Structures are given as structure tokens and as C-alpha cells.
A = this chain, B = another copy of it.
Amino acid sequence: MSDPPLVPPHEVDPVRLGAYFALIEVTSLLRHAIEQQLHEDGGLTFVRFQVLMRLHRSPTGSHRMTDLADAIVVSRSGLTYQAGLLEKAGLVARSPSPDDERGVTITITDAGRALLGRVLPGHEEVVGDLLFEPLSRADARALADLLAPVRDHMRAAPPRSASRRRARPTAEG
């Protein structure tokens, strides 16, 4: 008798819990719907779509591989794989970076932009219907204003397993 509790009881802020759960659930559902639309309308996955979008929105139409991987939050090897597929499909081109021989620059092609043109309307429709339908203009702005600092904070935070686990306020610089 009197076993220690399997999950030590601790009070979790229910407001935070609700925000966290809703965030995970909303993006899971949204991503799922987006994947489906992209697949139907253009044979794309969300990752490949993000690659094309980032390149398309870049002034030069291109990026270094590593920068792109960080931007869309995917592993380097994962991006290599997807870039290979996109290249085989003629949607991007890869070339050695001019300044650094080991670097690879990935560039969107006209075919890539054309595919985006075919896929974007449906994409906007899905996002509009699912994410923004229940949100007023002010709500959308509020959401953006809440998430922007969070994103900046996460980007600034030690990218991977640095610190953590030693949250004690030590005197290290």
C-alpha cells in the first residue's frame, strides 16, 4: 500500500495547457488538410511545397541548402532527399555555390513557379476555410502578434540540446 504515485501530481496551468493543446491540434489538422490538397492539386508534399515557396519568395529565387533546411525546419539529409526529387521533376536546379565550393545553391525553375501557380489557389482556399474562417481580421492580427515573438524567441534559443536540463541559475557566462 501507499505506492508512490505513478505520475506525481502537480498543478499545470490550465490556460497554458489549453493553449498548448489547441496549438498542437490545430496545426495537426491544418497540416493534414494541406498535405491532402497539395497532393491532389500538384503531387506535392508539404515539405516540397515549402521548399518551392521559400525559393519563389526569395529575390534571387535561390537559397543555400543549409539555410533552407533551417528555414523550413527539416534535417539536412531530409532536404537533400526532397531536393533530389524536385530536381528530377525539373522544379528546381542545384548548382555549386559561387563563393564556397562545398555549398550547394538550389534555385526554383519556371516549371517550379508554374506548379506553384497551379497549387496556390487551392492552398489559400484550404487555409482560408479551415484556419481563418472562424477568425475576424482583428483575430488574425492578434494571432500573428502573439506568435511572432514566440517564433523569434524559438529561433534565438539554443537550436538543439544546449543548456536545458541545467536550468538552475548557475554562474556560467
Binding site for B on A (CB under 8 A): 5-8, 12-13, 15-16, 18-20, 22-33, 36-37, 40, 56, 72-73, 110, 113-114, 116-117, 120, 122, 124-135, 137, 139-144, 146-155, 157, 160-161, 164-165, 167
Q: Are B135 and A150 in contact (CB under 8 A)?
A: yes
- Would you give the shortest CB distance from A71 to chain B, in whole angstroms? 9
Q: Are A73 and B6 in contact (CB under 8 A)?
A: no
- Would you give the shortest CB distance from A132 to chain B, in whole angstroms? 6
Copies per complex of this chain:
2
6 further A-B contacts with Cβ under 8 Å, apart from A29-B151, A36-B160, are: A5-B117, A6-B116, A12-B124, A23-B30, A25-B73, A30-B154
Q: Of B25, B37, B135, which one neighbours A146 at CB under 8 angstroms?
A: B135
Q: Of B5, B129, B151, which one neighbours A164 at CB under 8 angstroms?
A: B129
